[in-house]
Amino acid sequence: MGDLVEGDDGLPAEDVGPWAKEKHELLCRYVDISRSVRKKFIGPGKGGATYIDLFCGPGRARVRGREFIDGSCVAAWRKSVEGGAPFSQVLIADLDQERLDAAVSRLQDAGAPVTAFHGPAVETARRIVDRLSVHSLHFAFLDPFSLGALDFRIFHMLAQRKRMDVIVHLSKMDLQRNLGRNIAAETSAFDTFAPGWRQAITTVQGQRGIRIELIEYWREIVSNVGFAASPHMRLLKGPKEQHLYWLLLVASHGLAHRFWQIASNPGGQGEMF
């Protein structure tokens, strides 16, 4: 997590790098592009459309040394309203109570129908899925700070709802920096992120090959729970062109993947690994 600073509205805000703006732009582009489908689920007698954010943060961020921007949950809500297809409910969660409370306050101020869940993502995901209608359209944004925080059980739970699209943050920096440690450890973050990985990939090879095999294995087990992982992985970079993380979509419906292809503009993403 980034450090908390005082926001321009008096509430806590996250201190983030400039790449956060690009991440939120991609999120909002997807929310906007998918608005026509969302509209079909909004209104009296319809199932509704849900936005889910399991790592919501405080809902506001300061780009280091620069301006303040909306956090993911607030940005997504505002974009849905702007497009004339506001989410019927906004379900947010975070492990940190202070961040969660700040996000709730900001979403309420923005007019969002928000409900908050406090705790680890693997637990809040279970509580959230239990209250989701099988007749609704659902969109989740998973933006953890490490691969280990992206517990694979989250995908098992989200897949219980048929109409579920998920944009996922996969930390390439974490994968690169901690690769040797995770391979050497008896129990590692990889066990949480991609259960069964030791039996599925070859560790006696170069690091790039290991990274490729691990991500491909993760994509395979995602498909085994009912999702398809998009081939369009948008690589986000730091100010010195350092590789930070990928954003990609997992969803069961082909239309969602077409929306993500447009939103992510994969032609400019550069080398994936």
- Rounded mean pLDDT of the chain? 93
Instruction: Tell me, yes or no, whether 270 lies in a domain.
Output: no
To the nearest 10°, the Cα dihedral for 49, 53, 57, 59? Answer: -20
What's the total number of domains in the chain?
1
Amino acid residing at 138: H
Please give the Cα distance from 192 to 216 (Å, whole number): 16
| pLDDT in the model for residue 65 | 74
pTM summary value? 0.94
Confidence band, pLDDT 50/70/90 cuts, at residue 268: very low
271 belongs to a structural domain:
no
The reply to whether 78 falls in a domain is yes
pLDDT surpassing 90 at residue 251: yes
* Predicted local distance difference test score (pLDDT) of residue 273: 46
**Would 269 be classed as within a structural domain?**
no
Q: Looking at residue 271, what is its pLDDT? A: 43
Checking if the pLDDT of 218 tops 80, the result is yes
Tell me the sheet residues that pair with 69. Answer: 61
Give a yes or no: residue 196 inside a domain: yes
Residue 96 lies in a domain: yes
Structural domain includes residue 258:
yes
Residue 268 lies in a domain: no
| CA R_g for the chain | 18
Instruction: Return the CATH number at 65.
Output: 3.40.50.150
Q: Which domain holds residue 63?
A: 4-263
Distance CA 156, CA 202 (A): 25
- The CB-side HSE value for 76 (13 A sphere, CA atoms) comes to 30
Please report which confidence band the pLDDT of residue 145 belongs to, taking 50, 70 and 90 as the band edges. Answer: confident
Q: Apex CA 7: angle with CA 236 and CA 237, to 5°?
A: 10
